[in-house]
Structure formats: C-alpha cells, structure tokens
Structure 1
Amino acid sequence: MKQDVLYQILTTAEDCQTVSDIAKKLFLSQPYVSQVLSKAEKKYNVVLLERRTLPIELTEAGRTLCDGLAKLHSDQMKIEQDLRRFTEEEQSYIKIGFSPIWASSESRKIIPVLQKQFETTRFELIKTFSINSAKRLIDNRMVDIYLGPLLRGENLKNFFLFQPRIFLIIPETSKLYQEGKRDVPFSQQLLMDLSKEKMVSLSDDSGFQKTVDHLLEDQNLSVNKSIKVNDYEVALQMAVGGLGWTATLEYMLPNLDPDLKYNQVELPHNLIQSDNGLTIHMDSNDRDKEVAQVMTRLMKDDLVARKLTKE
C-alpha cells in the first residue's frame, strides 16, 4: 500500500459525501479506494473513516494518521529537495501545480521557453481542482510552484500577476434576464435580486467560490445553491442552460456559444478581488525561484501583449 495514495484518500474525504465521491475526485475506482482504506484499518487496527454517516467523515484516528502522513511526506520532500544539488540535475523535475483556469494556450507558450532556458530541467504539470488541494500540494512539497489564485502562508512567497475580471451570468430563464442584451451594467439592486434566485455554484472547496460567497456575505445576502459542481466549464454551461445564475471568470466566456441567450454582468474590482499569480516556498532552491521568476515575466509580457492587441 502506497502511503501517498492513502494520504490523498484521507485528505480528499474531508470534502466528500461518500466513498464514491472520493474515488471520482481522485480518478480511482470505488473498490480500490475501499480496499486501500480497509488494508490501512487492518494494519493500524483502527477505524479511519466513519462510513455510516452522510457525509462521511474522518474519525479521530483518521485525522491523526492523516496529520502524521502529511508530516512524513513533507519531511521526505524537503529531504529530496535538499539533496537535489548533489544529484545530476537532469534526473530531477520541477513540479508545477496549476488551477483549471490556466489555459492550454498559455502552457504552449511558456513551457517551450522554459525548456530552452533550462535545458537540463524537466517539467511535470499537475492540475488541481480546489484551493484546498492546491494548498496541501504546496505545503507538503508535492509541487514546487503553484499557478492560480495566490496561496497565503508565512512560509510562502507570492508573485502577483493580475486580477481577473469576474462576471455574473444571468440565463434566459431568469426573471432578471434582459432581452437583446449581452452586457448588463452592475447595480446593487441587481445583486440583491439575483441572490434570491437559484444559483449554479462551484463546490465548497473552490477558492473562487469562497471569494464569491464572501462577497454575498459582506452584502448580507443569502444564496440558493441549487447545484454544486467542481468544474468551471460544467457550472457555466449549466447556468446558460437555464439551471440558475452563476459567477465565472473572464477566461471562461469564450467557451460559450455566441448564439445562446444570456446576460453577463461584470463585477467592479473594488467589490471583489481574486488575485492570481505564482506561489512558491520561501526556502525553495535557487533553480525553482529562478523558474518562478521567468514564468512571472513571461506571463506578464503575455498579459501586456494581449491587452495591446485588444486595444
């Protein structure tokens, strides 16, 4: 039994309703997840997961083991990082974690430049689906660099890139939909009225969704999350399909069929913030820091170029 698989199962269980949900999030089969849990429980002679409740939850023994595995993994990754300078550089990878909103077109621009500048370095890209998993990956040194919403922590260093534009999407089925328009100006009254309607929300472990929720809470507004989904694209398509309003990022809008009927409302920057950029450990080695700095420069140059093209 691999400890990293068990650790992923235990940490993922915190955000899941059932064992099947754990399997889906980790792209594993449900029987395999159950088998890993059963073997671990037999090995340590404890119950790790309370399966009789809904949602499932870790037992105290499960949380203790999870914390212990996290420390073991973090220590192991730190040792491996410290030893990198004594090994052949071409034998190592730089692991870059990224959020689902990082477009494939951006990776096609950046990775070739990194390969050319760091000829003896290989790169491994790891897609993350929530702010919680991203934080665990960077804290436990399962990734060297994270690209997406900035992660906070006293041991972390941020490279700010930009604040993406955030839009509310109002489907044709909404009472607030305005016929014949695409862009609708924001107003406090619109936000208040919209909060009373059904919403297609991202899952609770989404950092972006937490940002949106905080906005609504700050305005003393409740929200009716009729559907939750852990995928930006699926949430957006469900919303424009008439299942409720949603909040999304500017990157997602080009994916929509232009013939669909919906309104988009840009939220003012002073109302909601979602800083994006790169995050690394403060004690990262020199090569990781240099790669992060090069990535930041490349992405800022690309942002400037795209802005000038639009103008």
Structure 2
Amino acid sequence: MKQDVLYQILTTAEECQTVSDIAKKLFLSQPYVSQVLSKAEKKYNVVLLERRTLPIELTEAGKTLCEGLAKLHSDQMKIEQDLRRYTEEEQSYIKIGFSPIWSPGESGRIIPVLQKQFETTRFELIKTFSTNSAKRLIDNRMIDIYIGPLLRGEDLKNYLLFQPKVYLIIPETSKLYQPGKKEIEFSQQLLTDLSEEKMVSLSEDSGFQKTVDHFLEDQNLSVNKAIKVNDYDVAVQMAVGGLGWTATLEYMLSNLKTDNKFNLVELPNTTIQSDNGLTIHTETSERAKEVAHVMNDLMKESVEKNRSFNA
C-alpha cells in the first residue's frame, strides 16, 4: 500500500460527500479507493472513515493517521533534501504543481528552456485541482514549485506575476441576456439581478470560487448554486449551454465557440482580484529556488508580450 495514495485519500475525504467523490477527484476507481482504505483499516485495526454518514467524515483515528502521514512525508522530504548536498543534486526531480487553468502552451514553451539551462535536472509536472490540495502538497514538500493562484503561509514565498481578468458568462437562457452583443457593461444592478438566477459554480475547494463567493458576500448577495463542478472548462461549457451563469477567468474564453450565444461581463479589477504566480516553500532546495527564479522571469516575459500584443 502506497502511503502517498492513502494520504491523498484521507485528505480528499474532508472535501467529499461519498467515497465515489474521493475517487472522482483523485481520478482513481471507487473499488481501488475502498480497497486502500480497507487494507489500512486492517493494518492499523481502526476505522478511518465513517461511511454511514452523509457527507462521509474521518474518524478521530483517521485524522490522527492523516496528521502522522503528513509529518512522516515532511520529515522524509527534509532528510532527502539534507542529503542532496552529498549527492548529485542536479539529478533529482524538480516537482512542479500547476492549477487546471495553467495554459498547456506555457508548459510546452517553458519546460524546454528549463531543460536546456538545467541540463541534468529532471522535471515532474503534477496537476492539482484545488488551492487546498496545492497548499497541502507544498506544505508537506510533495511539490517544489506551484503555479497558479498564490498560496499564503509564513513558510511560503510568492512571485506575483499578474492578476487575470474575471468575467461573468450570461447564457441565452438568462433574462439578462442581450441578443447581438458579445460584451455588456458591468453594473451593480446587473449583478443583483444575476444573483437571483441559477449559477454554475466551481466546487468549494476552488480558491477562485472562494474569491468569487467572498465578493458576492461583500455585496450582501446570495446565489443559487444549481450545479457545482470541479473543472473550469466544464463549468464554462455548462454555462454557455444554458444551465446557469458562471464566473470564470480570461484564460477560459479561448475555449468558447463563436457560435455560442452568451454575453460576457468583465468585472472591474477594483471589485475582485485573483493574484496568480509562483509559490515555493522557503526551505525548498537551492536548485528548486533557482528553477523558480528562472520560471518567474520567463513567465513575466510572456505576460508582458501578451499585453503588448493585445494593446
């Protein structure tokens, strides 16, 4: 039984309703997740997950094991990093976590440059599906660098790159839809009226969705989250398909077909902000810090080029 898999299952359980939900989030089969849990419960002779409740929840034993596995992995990573000074550090993997909205084109452009500059260093890319999971991975030293919404913590260092534009997507089925227009202006009244309609929301472990929720709460608005999904692209496609309005980031707009009928509303950058960039642990290896510095320069250059092109 791999301890990393068990740890991921236990931490993901805190955000799920059922064992099937855990499997979906981790892209594992439900029988495999159940098998890993059962083997661990037999090994330690405890019940780790209370399955009779809805939502499921970790037992005290499950929480204790989860904390122990986190500390075990963190200690193991520290030992490995301490030993790197006596080995060929360049031959180790640099693990880069990235959010679902990181453009695939960016990895295809940046990784070759990193390979050329750090010739003997290998790279592993790990897709994360929420800021919560990304924070756990970097806190427990399971990844060296994270690309996406900035993570906060006293042991973390951030490289701010940019603040992407935030858009509301209003489908043709909305009473607020304006035919013949691609973009319509933001207004407080539009936001108030929109909050009374069905919304396609990202799942609650999404850092971006939390930012949107806080923004709406500050406006004293409650919303009807008719659908929740843990995928940016699926949320956008559901919205333009007429299942409800949604909030999304500028990256996702390129995936929309021009024949879809919907309106876009750009939120003023003074109303909502989503800081994006790189995050590293302050105690990560010197090589990972070097890689992060180079990545930061490359991505800043890309951001400035895109701005000049769109100006």
Provide TM-score, normalisation by structure 1.
Answer: 0.98
* Shift, 1:90, TM fit: 4.4
What is the deviation of 1:85? Answer: 2.2
TM-score for both structures, normalised by structure 2 = 0.98
User: CA deviation digits over 1:12-46, x for unaligned, max 9?
Assistant: 11111111111111121111111111111112111
Deviation at 1:82, TM superposition (A): 1.7
Q: In 2, Cα distance between the equivalents of 1:207 and 1:5?
A: 23
| Alpha-carbon separation, structure 2, partners of 1:280 and 1:171 | 39
Cα distance per residue 1:281-300 (max 9 Å; x no partner) = 11222211111111011011
Deviation at 1:151, TM superposition (A): 0.2
* Letter of the structure 2 residue corresponding to residue 17 of structure 1: Q
Match of 2:113 in 1: 113
Query: How big is each residue's C-alpha offset from its partner over 1:171-220, in whole Å with a ceiling of 9 and x where there is no partner?
Result: 00000001110111111111111111000000000000000000001111
- Aligned pairs, number: 311
Whole-Å separation in 1 of the counterparts to 2:257 and 2:146: 31
Aligned residue for 2:158, secondary structure, equals strand
Which residue number in structure 2 is paired with residue 226 of structure 1? Answer: 226
Mapped partners of 1:254, 1:91: distance in 2: 38
Number of the residue aligned with 1:11: 11
Q: Which residue of 2 aligns with 1:155?
A: 155
- Specify the alignment match of 1:206 in structure 2: 206
- Which residue pairs with 1:275 in the alignment? 275
User: Conserved in 2, the CA contact under 8 Å of 1:172 and 1:240?
Assistant: yes
Q: Residues of 2 paired with 1:67 and 1:145: CA distance?
A: 22
Corresponding position of 2:241: 241
> Percent of pairs identical after alignment?
81
The residue type equivalent to 1:178 in the other structure is Q
Q: What CA distance in whole angstroms lies between the structure 2 residues aligned with 1:284 and 1:35?
A: 34
The CA distance in 2 between the partners of 1:286 and 1:31, in whole Å, is: 41
Partner of 1:54: 54
What residue in structure 2 maps to residue 96 of structure 1?
Answer: 96
Aligned to 2:289: 289
| Farther-moved stretch of structure 1 (73-82 vs 245-254) | 73-82
- Aligned-partner Cα distance in 1 for 2:286–2:100: 27
Q: Could you tell me whether the CA contact under 8 Å between 1:89 and 1:120 is conserved in 2?
A: no
Q: CA RMSD in A?
A: 0.9
Aligned to 1:28: 28
- Tell me the distance in 1 between the aligned counterparts of 2:264 and 2:27: 33
Task: Using the TM superposition, give the Cα deviation of residue 162 of structure 1 relative to its aligned residue in structure 2, in angstroms.
Answer: 0.3
SS at match of 1:146: strand
The amino acid that maps onto 2:43 is K
SS in 1 for 2:169: strand
Equivalent position SS for 2:170: strand
**Conserved 8 A contact 1:212-1:247:** yes
- Matches of 1:91 and 1:308 in 2, distance apart? 38
Where 2:153 maps in the other structure, the secondary structure is coil
Match of 2:174 in 1: 174
In structure 2, give the amino acid aligned to 1:127.
Answer: K
C-alpha distance in 2 between matches for 1:201 and 1:258: 23
Which segments of 5 or more consecutive residues in structure 1 lack a partner in the other structure?
A: none
Structure 2 residue matching 1:247: 3-state secondary structure = strand
> For structure 2, which runs of at least 5 residues remain unmatched after alignment?
none
Q: Offset at 1:70?
A: 0.6
Asked if structure 1 preserves the Cα contact closer than 8 Å seen for 2:90 and 2:287, the reply is no
Cα offset for 1:91?
3.0
**Cα deviation code 1:35-68 (max 9, x no counterpart):** 1111111121111101011111111111111011
Q: Find the counterpart in structure 2 of residue 73 from structure 1.
A: 73
Paired position in structure 2 for 1:185: 185
Structure 1 consecutive aligned stretches of length 4 or more whose deviation exceeds 6 Å: none
How far, CA to CA, are the matches of 1:81 and 1:171 in structure 2? 51
Q: Letter of the aligned partner of 1:305 in structure 2?
A: K
